[in-house]
Amino acid sequence: MERINPTRSLGRDDLAVFVAGPGLGEGVAVALPGGGWLLIDGCRTGGNVGEDVPLRTIWSTWRRDATDTVKWMLLTHPHGDHVSGFAEVVDVVRPENIGMAGPPAPGRGLHAELSDWLTRQAPTEDSLARDQLLAAANAIRSWERRTGREVTAIHDGVRLVDAPASVIALSPSPAFAASLAAESWPAFRDRANLLSIVLEVAHGGTRLLLTGDLPHRVANSEHPEGWSRLVSAYPAACAPRGLKVPHHGSKDALHPAINAGVAPRGMWTTPFSKNREPLPRWADGEGLSQLLAVDAVKLTAPPRRPPTGHVRPGGEMTRAQLGAWLTAAPLAGFLADADDISLPTISSALSPVWLSVFNDRGDVVREECGDAALLITSEAPA
């Protein structure tokens, strides 16, 4: 595992994917061949203000020249854990376009509904998520006023970029996006994962699938607007060279056809640590074991903070080693951690990051990771 190197630049023809996830939220940055970037969702580490937003740091560090602008910023779905830092990034990078899931018919954007509704709400126990959503929605409204442009409604069939690499949305379906839009926020808040934007990035023989939190099953049943629809409609896209694993590797988000189709060493996964059973879960039959039945998994950070006093056994480990490390008893002389929310302690914006660079033949020509990232394998490292 080669450490991420901020002094090593990207080539103008590179297709580079950065996946960031410190334990709450995730962000994906794609440097397109020929120039231009996609920035998707957002997350924040525990570093100093201004230095704690991975997507901002990634773009400012690896931007190839002054013309290497952000073509698109996207929010895959309106959940608080995917918008942290989004407002700051909008203000800094000045994207040419902003997209959110929505139907093709014109109408009031979801960001405007979010802004108005959240402004009226009293603070709650989850006020951090509320504040992050509100900041993102207001930043998007400010961008509209400043640029004179409107947010683009993203749905199946919308083409964001044509050449030399193409970027096309595969989800949500227009009909489903319209049905949720008719309900208005917050009526469909608990189904927002189903609104997730899924993107295919194609460059010659290289296909990448970037997935948001789209599920396969809901309440233990296959959902018609989940992964089964995409597998049926876009079978070629569901055999990608690189897959940002949906919904932090939860087993209900995994479709067997996509698991089987992904190329070796092609899976990036971000953890979700804000509960007593973090994602991805590592027990038998859970998401991580299903992914490892295919190949190794590139985790951007541990799924939870390890017990006090235990040193990480290495950057590459098996699922069994990961479970033993994260569930070990605190060492003698150390206080036990509180057993509620146990986020990993990550300060650097580049610590919970995987970087993969592809050519147009499906080859990975460069791969690096931050010091919080892990490579989980089914066999013990050599």
CATH says 15-328+351-377 is which class? alpha beta
Q: Alpha-carbon distance 271 to 345, whole Å?
A: 13
pLDDT tens-digit readout, 14-48: 999 999 999 888 999 999 999 999 999 999 887 66
Q: Looking at residue 181, what is its pLDDT?
A: 80
Q: Looking at residue 313, what is its pLDDT?
A: 65
Q: Looking at residue 262, what is its pLDDT?
A: 87
Q: Alpha-carbon distance 308 to 292, whole Å?
A: 27
Residue 317 near residue 369 (C-beta atoms within 8 A) = no
Q: Looking at residue 340, what is its pLDDT?
A: 39
Which of 137-146, 167-176, 301-310 has the largest mean confidence? 167-176
Q: Looking at residue 47, what is its pLDDT?
A: 64
pLDDT tens-digit readout, 197-244: 999 999 999 999 999 999 999 999 999 999 999 999 999 888 999 999
DSSP track, 124-191: -TTHHHHHHHHHHHHHHHHHHHHHS--PEEE-TT-EEE-SSSEEEEEES-HHHHHHHHHH-TTTTGGG
Mean pLDDT of 300-327: 82
Q: What is the pTM of this model?
A: 0.93
